[in-house]
């Protein structure tokens, strides 16, 4: 009986350690993966700016002039084609929030793989600097937690977005931000009509992340309005494919394609761990322990990578 209780105790202790290691992987290990992706994305973004500056693809904002009776709007001046929306996963902008120490490359798309690389631009929304409501989602606790401290923003704080044409757009946080909504409350992604230009929308920015921390129950929202020089209006919005619309604010679904790799690497980790335990108990040497720990940590890391992708843990 004592031996049975001893084995049960060892199993429970080992399970507890593995669970703690998985939590550590989610909080810090995923951050390492995201940092590597961000390094690549920053290089790609700089290359995109250079490529864009080498061509004549800049659209300047229109200029608004007010007459004695009615406001009139001049035609935007254009030196080339409008900014194109890149494929999902490619860099689309750079977001800087000085107050929070945020400096991240934004990718196109808000699917699970996209947000593992960094903040993601909702494909249904316009690009930064354009008329309409530009929306960006980001993790709050995992994968580098780019929006981890979004709740600390206050009205008047600045958010700077740089697009692939090198243009920097400054947004100021609105008076009612931040606030919390349900995940299905997609109306926060809708544009706000411009009261001074009938038929047009204000250029606004919406940042979304999960709330509270370590949970995906609700969404924390920060909204901001663009700051433009007097007489300027936002760029016209790039047309988007309605088929890319999202019904919810960044879904919680796991990656079902990771089910088989998760099971496979779980078996491999169990076999490697079992071999490590057997060898160490037969040859109680420190170098045997280290020699077994190295491959076990490697396969455990791979197993955790697939397990995290399988779980609905978009927070």
**122 within a domain of the structure (yes/no):** yes
Q: Burial-class residue 256 by CB neighbours within 10 Å (0-12, 13-18, 19+).
A: exposed
Domain identity same for 170 and 188: yes
Q: Which two tokens stand for residue 212?
A: 């509270």
Question: Of 209, 244, 279, which one is at a domain's C-terminal end?
Answer: 244
Structural domain for 205, as ranges: 34-64+84-244
What is the domain-level CATH number for residue 38? 2.40.260.10
**10 within a domain of the structure (yes/no):** no
pLDDT confidence tier of residue 184, bands split at 50, 70 and 90: confident
Domain identity same for 177 and 291: no
Condensed to tens digits (0 to 9), the pLDDT of residues 215-271 reads: 778 899 999 999 998 888 888 887 666 555 554 555 444 455 667 788 888 888 888
**237 within a domain of the structure (yes/no):** yes
Domain identity same for 220 and 297: no
Residue 313 reports pLDDT greater than 60: no
Centre a 10 Å sphere on the Cβ of residue 285 and count the other Cβ atoms it contains. 11
d(CA 308, CA 310): 5
d(CA 108, CA 93): 9
Domain identity same for 173 and 261: no
- Residue 315's pLDDT is what? 57
Mean pLDDT of 64-79: 40
**280 within a domain of the structure (yes/no):** yes
**147 within a domain of the structure (yes/no):** yes
Out of 21-35, 194-208, 263-277, 284-298, the most confident range is: 194-208
Domain identity same for 281 and 133: no
Domain identity same for 57 and 127: yes
- Residue 128's pLDDT is what? 93
Domain identity same for 236 and 314: no
Question: Of 217, 244, 271, which one is at a domain's C-terminal end?
Answer: 244
**46 within a domain of the structure (yes/no):** yes
Domain identity same for 133 and 180: yes
d(CA 174, CA 190): 15
Domain identity same for 225 and 263: no
Condensed to tens digits (0 to 9), the pLDDT of residues 98-150 reads: 999 999 999 999 888 888 899 999 988 999 999 999 999 999 888 888 999 99
Domain identity same for 137 and 56: yes
Domain identity same for 180 and 105: yes
- Residue 311's pLDDT is what? 65
**192 within a domain of the structure (yes/no):** yes
Q: Which two tokens stand for residue 177?
A: 């931000």
Specify whether the CB–CB gap between 127 and 185 falls below 8 A. no
**22 within a domain of the structure (yes/no):** no
Condensed to tens digits (0 to 9), the pLDDT of residues 295-307 reads: 888 888 888 777 7
Q: Does this model's pTM top 0.85? A: no
Domain identity same for 281 and 314: yes
How many CA atoms does the CB half-sphere of 296 hold within 13 Å? 18
Total tally of structural domains belonging to the chain: 2
């Amino acid at each position: 009986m004592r031996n049975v209780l001893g084995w049960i105790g060892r199993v429970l202790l080992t399970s507890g350690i593995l669970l703690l290691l998985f939590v550590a992987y989610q909080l810090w290990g995923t951050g390492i993966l995201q940092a590597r992706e961000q390094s690549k994305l920053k290089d790609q973004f700089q290359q995109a700016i250079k490529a864009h500056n080498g061509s004549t693809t800049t659209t300047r904002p229109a200029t608004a002039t007010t007459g004695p009776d009615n406001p009139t709007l001049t035609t935007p001046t254009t030196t080339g084609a409008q900014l194109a929306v890149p494929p999902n996963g490619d860099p689309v902008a750079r977001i800087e929030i000085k107050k929070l120490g945020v400096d991240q490359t934004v990718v196109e798309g808000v699917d699970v793989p996209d947000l593992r690389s960094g903040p993601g631009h909702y494909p249904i929304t316009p690009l930064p600097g354009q008329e309409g409501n530009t929306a960006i989602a980001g993790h709050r606790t995992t994968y580098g937690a780019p929006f981890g401290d979004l709740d600390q923003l206050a009205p008047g704080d600045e958010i700077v977005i740089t697009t692939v044409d090198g243009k920097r757009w400054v947004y100021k946080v609105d008076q009612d931000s931040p606030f919390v909504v349900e995940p299905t409350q997609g109306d926060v992604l809708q544009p706000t009509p411009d009261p001074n230009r009938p038929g047009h929308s204000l250029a606004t920015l919406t940042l979304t992340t999960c709330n509270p921390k370590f949970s995906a129950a609700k969404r924390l929202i920060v909204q901001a309005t663009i700051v433009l020089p007097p007489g300027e209006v936002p760029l016209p919005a790039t047309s988007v494919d309605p088929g890319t619309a999202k019904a919810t604010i960044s879904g919680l679904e796991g990656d079902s394609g990771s089910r088989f790799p998760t099971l496979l690497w779980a078996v491999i980790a169990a076999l490697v761990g079992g071999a490590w335990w057997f060898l160490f108990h037969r040859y109680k040497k420190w170098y045997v322990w280290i020699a077994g720990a190295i491959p076990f940590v490697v396969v455990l890391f791979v197993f955790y990578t697939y397990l995290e992708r399988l779980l609905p843990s978009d927070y």
